[in-house]
Structure 1
Amino acid sequence: MATAASNTTQQDQTSCKVFRRLDPAALTPDSIHRLVVGEDTSLRVLTQTEATVELGDPFATMLLLRGTFPRTAGEVLAAFEQLTGTDDPPKGPMFFLVGDGSQIPVTPETVDLARNMRFLVTLGNGPEGADVLFSSFQPEEGNVELMAWDRATGGFNYYQTVGESSAWVFAGNSRHALVEPSEGEGPFESHPSGNFIMKELRSPWINWHSPAAPIMPSAFSDDDPLRNHPWVAGKEPSGAITLETSVARPGIERWTRARFAAIVANGGQINRPERIIRQILTSPAINLISSHNVSANAASSDTVELPQTFFVDSSLTDIAGLAPPPPFAVPGEIYTQSLQTFDVKLTDGAKFVQPGDTHFAFVVPERAFEDQAVLAEAARVGLVTLRLAACLLMVDFPNPIFSTRRRGLLAHVPSSATLADGAGAFSDAFADAIVAAATEPGTPERDFADRWTLKDGWKESFDAELAAYFTAVTDRLTTQAGFDDYFRLAESRRDRVRTMPIAESPLLFASTNIPPTPRTMTANGTVQEG
């Protein structure tokens, strides 16, 4: 087996940027290379036999394994379009457009602003999502990222081109995100559970072209070749609506079902249940959500609607069946005053500065849909009971993401589980371990234990607890001091996201003068610092 590059360093193995560091000249043209970071110590060329065994997705079987090696995103699409009907090629395409600065028109002052405009193209769109998805900043340039569903083994296969080389690098399958030593390495730093990422998953889909915020020709300069490019002109009319409902959600659910189906096929044996529970208790991934109010109109608005999931995990309602929260909103004048108090502005950290918030107001992280899908599937197969899920999520419930208290419960996850033991066996064992450790008041273990002992009356008790919290939050939203506290809390959560690989541009969030420090919400609706 040929090798084609120097060994990766330990630092490389913790970053998806490893592929950007590869030297295009070190790759063998028109070849499939393999670099599953953490598992492979060096880049190597796969033989035809090796590639045929490992790669069962349509990109590999219909193009690469037949000797077709497109160099750019445009060539990928053209190669699929040239396939005949007897090949049963994936149908499509659909074009989507996103950019962190997509709502900032090009003017003489902003012409040099990096808007991070990029395309997503999907093929083979069906009830379970797309079979092939690829992303590129320019259709006629290299450095293409591609995912394709493996029809033989399940999961998405991840591919990458490097510069202008015609070689493709296979970076792993979704299942590599879940096992050592590839877990969290290479592309799975950004895709921690092996899923497709649409970080702005829900309406109003800030940054994506959509009816709520169309990406207009004014976002491109007059001489930009993309301004009149067919992919721009032919972008999906409903944009992010279609991407969410027809690509992202079904694709995430597809991989999640396949992941648990593999467990069932293995006799229900789970050697690392902590890997599943981590997606319930912690925030390995996030989505972004915002108000539906355009921030520029806030001053003239009676109220600015706020995302419910900033205040509470929607899984408590959608999966555990608890009562939903009320709508949350802040008076427009209070929101506007907070923008002034905290010197809120959009900036690229260089020349561009625009006073005010992002296009849609109050962009904040929320619990990732991919983690909610894991919880739902874990409940469906009987690994986690709804009672256990509710008791876990009610620990530190005012902080639906980035909760250090809930994270502490991971210490009590049993080392293995078997679905064949019957519904609730793992849940009881996990709960018993937490309760046994609940010796001190004020600990997350005691919080859990107090709720677990409620047994049949847990729903009514939790609903009452949440209702009191929602009332406290609603009351504080009517005051400047209350919303200022929530704005500071939001900035603390944004600061966490800024350290994540999905934060690729300073335009993702507005900047503020708020000092970086940890902040947490309490059950009485107040915010604590430190």
Structure 2
Amino acid sequence: MCLWDRTPERRRATAWPTAATAAAADEHGRLERGTLHRGVSGVDQGPVPMSADDLAGLKDPMAAVFFQQGQWPMTLEDVLDGLTRADALPVQCVYMISEAGQITPDEAPGLRRDLRFAVTRAAPGADPDLLVSSDPDSAFLQVAAWDPAAQVFNYYMRISPTWVWTGNSWSALAPESRGKGCFDSHVNGSVVMKELRQPWSNWQSMAATIQLPPDDPLRDNPLYQRVIGAERLELTVKGLVSRWTTARLAAVVDDGMVRHPDHLLRQLFTTTTVNLASTSTQSTTVGPDSGDLVLPLGFWLNADALINDLGLPVSAETVPAAPASLYADSLAAFGFRLQERASDFSRQGDTFFAFVIPEAAHEDNDVVRQLVAQGLVPARFAACALMVDFTNPVFSPARSHLMTYVPTEPVPASAWCTDIAAAIVAAAATLPADSPEGEFARNWSLPEARWRSVFAERVDAYLEKAAARIRTTSGFRDCTRLAESRRRAFQAMKLNEFELTLPTTDIPADAPPLRMNEDGTVTAQTDGGSP
């Protein structure tokens, strides 16, 4: 168990098994007060004092304002006040999130609300260089700070009586630390906002207000009084993700060679992480006589990549929508409920915004977007890859299988994608037509002048069939099972921290994984391409 899991000074992650903290208490006693420690999970045996040279090499604002000056802020307010006194990053924005935030206090007076602040600090007219995550009582305190010299985010966590540097953006990609410690959430090295798209589920936003009791002392907290909507944080996070992607590509592409091509293309072929999307409709307002319920476009395909970035001329005018009565019936048929076992809380129904599902991650798409924009990956190659099993935009074994053909050693930037395509096409000659290789080969055979129109026709035909099926009882229930199948895959990630993020259903936890087909039907998941 890594330090990140052992320390009691972290979020109360109700979806995780309870971590033992006795060893952590002993470990905390060994931390030297007034010394920055380093503790990169998977690399360091435990927190050790950082050398003077390494400390001096940190150029981010957290290190410059505090640690290099011998200052050790122990609370969120200490951090923010210290930045203000130093006249550093004066532009401050405060955001708030709570998975229990839309459950009224009267309904569940004993439910812990797990309110957290996300605070950004920036220079005037610039994107933030420092982000702080904490609860109102500073029970946990974590910082991501941009280092303009190293062109990385440095990650820190307070472990009383001092602070620990837990790695930087490159640590997220290094095999020994990938997926460990804070990099089980910051999977690709950048900052994270799971609910990145409107209606920004669980965040205070223009779409929803977090509920507090009238006499809650938090109402008098100056930070609470300055909370603004998550619609602004969405733009901030997208900008910071792009900042790291740009820096990362500049570092790995040098002298005509691409280093670690597998690290880049796994964000094309696989699901390294996800964002969470939902309808913009409050679930409690949906009844048998309500209008149609438009499901998230990310449930059907990776529209951001295929349509917005790669320019498929899809003509479908509307996203598939289901009669509200079918959604309402499915809640009862599958036993939907919100449940948090740690608080002994259970309530029938769906999440506040209906039909939460994992969708393709913005940070994965941003890598592909910038690779194409810089001419490092041909748009045709990216589209041919994404159109393999495109009806399953996340957790696709078929698309992931094609990583087999991606080299791990440095490759010439001028030919790497052509060489990968040639290897896949050669393998397809001896494999079934419905194999991932076979589907990629058919895609790749399309001439440059026609691939966009042919792919768009496939997408249009699929959406038309899906739109028809979802208006039937069996079709909608199949989509409900598929959504739950994808939610289970998300729940296996450490990114899933809170039980109330997703609904609980009576669908068995060991039900076979499901997939969507191009004819709009849902079947058991296979390793093949799109039937």
TM-score over 0.5 (shorter chain) = yes
Kept in 2, the 8 Å contact 1:123–1:132? The answer is yes
Counting only pairs closer than 5 Å after superposition, residues 12-31 of structure 1 correspond to structure 2 as 12=2, 16-20=4-8, 21=21, 22-23=24-25, 24-31=28-35
The C-alpha deviation readout for 1:189-236, integer Å capped at 9, x for no partner, is 2111011110000000000000110123xx3473x4323211111112
Superposition deviation, residue 290 in structure 1:
0.3
* Matching residue within 453, 460, 472 for 1:460: 453
2:528 corresponds to which residue?
none
Displacement of 1:121: 0.8
Residues 367-401 of structure 1 deviation map (CA, whole Å, 9 limit, x = unaligned): 00000000011112222111000100010011000
In 2, the alpha carbon distance for the partners of 1:142 and 1:365 equals 29
Closer, same or farther: CA 231–290 of 1 in aligned 2, 3 Å: same
- Partner Cα distance (1:492, 1:161) in 2: 37
Q: Does the 8 Å contact 2:252/2:259 carry over to 1?
A: no
Where do 1:60-75 residues align within 5 Å?
60-75=63-78
Which of 107, 112, 119 is the matching residue for 1:121?
A: 119
Equivalent position of 1:440 in the other structure = 431
**Structure 1 counterpart of 2:331:** 339
Query: How many angstroms does 1:78 deviate by?
Result: 1.1
Give the counterpart of 1:40 among 25, 40, 44.
Answer: 44
Structure 1 residues 354, 521: closer, same or farther in 2, change over 3 A? same
Equivalent of 2:80 in 72, 77, 100:
77
Distance 1:125 1:281 in 2: 37
**Equivalent position amino acid for 1:289 in 2:** A
Give the equivalent residue in structure 2 for 1:5: none
After TM superposition, what 4+ stretches of structure 1 lie above 6 angstroms from structure 2? none
1:284 corresponding residue in structure 2: 272
Partner residue of 1:513?
506
Q: TM-score w.r.t. structure 2 length?
A: 0.91
Query: 1:227 is paired with a residue of what secondary structure?
Result: helix
Contact 1:96 1:240 (C-alpha < 8 Å) held by counterparts: yes
Name the amino acid aligned to 1:431. Answer: A
Change (3 A) 1:455 1:125: farther
Q: Does 1:52 align with 2:27?
A: no
**Correspondence for 2:11:** none
1:211 to 190, 206, 216: 206
Aligned 8 A contact 1:111 1:221 in 2? no
* Aligned mates of 1:171, 1:504 — CA distance in 2: 19
* TM-score (normalised: structure 1): 0.91
Q: Aligned AA for 1:157?
A: N
Query: Structure 2, unaligned stretches of length 5 or more?
Result: 9-20, 526-531
- How far apart in 2 are the matches of 1:392 and 1:59? 41
Q: 1:168 aligns with which of 163, 167, 188?
A: 163
Q: Which amino acid aligns with 1:136?
A: S
CA distance in 2, matches of 1:25, 1:221: 40
CA distance in 2, matches of 1:475, 1:204: 26
**Within 2, Cα distance between the matches of 1:44 and 1:414?**
36
Report the counterpart of residue 140 of structure 2 in structure 1.
Answer: 143
Indicate the percent of aligned positions where both proteins have the same amino acid: 36
1:477 is displaced (CA, Å) by 1.5
Write the mapping of 1:191-230 to structure 2, written as runs, cut at 5 A.
191-216=186-211, 219-220=212-213, 222=215, 224-230=216-222
Q: Does 1:249 align with 2:238?
A: yes
When the two structures are aligned, how many residues end up with a matched partner? 499
User: Is 1:364 matched with 2:357?
Assistant: yes
Q: Secondary structure at the match of 1:93?
A: strand
Q: Which amino acid aligns with 1:432?
A: A
Report the 3-state secondary structure (helix = DSSP H, G, I; strand = E; otherwise coil) of the residue aligned with 2:156: strand
Cα distance per residue 1:447-477 (max 9 Å; x no partner): 1001101122211211111111111101012
- CA deviation string 1:5-64 (max 9, x = no partner): xxxxxx428xx42444533222111210001122223321113332012x1101101111
Q: 1:450 is matched with which residue: 439, 442, 445?
A: 442
Pairing of 1:260-299 with structure 2 (within 5 A):
260-264=249-253, 266-299=254-287
- Report the equivalent of 1:429: 419
CA distance in 2, matches of 1:363, 1:63: 40
| Aligned mate of 2:344, from 351, 368, 372 | 351
Moved more, 266-275 or 461-470: 266-275
CA contact (8 A) 2:184 2:495 kept: no
CA drift at 1:65? 0.4
Indicate if the aligned counterparts of 1:70 and 1:166 stay in contact, CA closer than 8 A: no
1:497 CA displacement = 1.1
Structure 1 unaligned blocks of 5 or more: 1-10
2:333 counterpart letter in structure 1: T
CA separation of 1:39/1:270 partners in 2, compared to 1, >3 Å: closer, same or farther?
farther
The aligned amino acid for 1:67 is G
Matches of 1:496 and 1:182 in 2, distance apart? 22
- Asked whether the 8 Å contact 2:91–2:124 carries over to 1, the reply is no
SS at match of 2:217: coil
Aligned pair partner of 1:392 in 369, 381, 385: 385
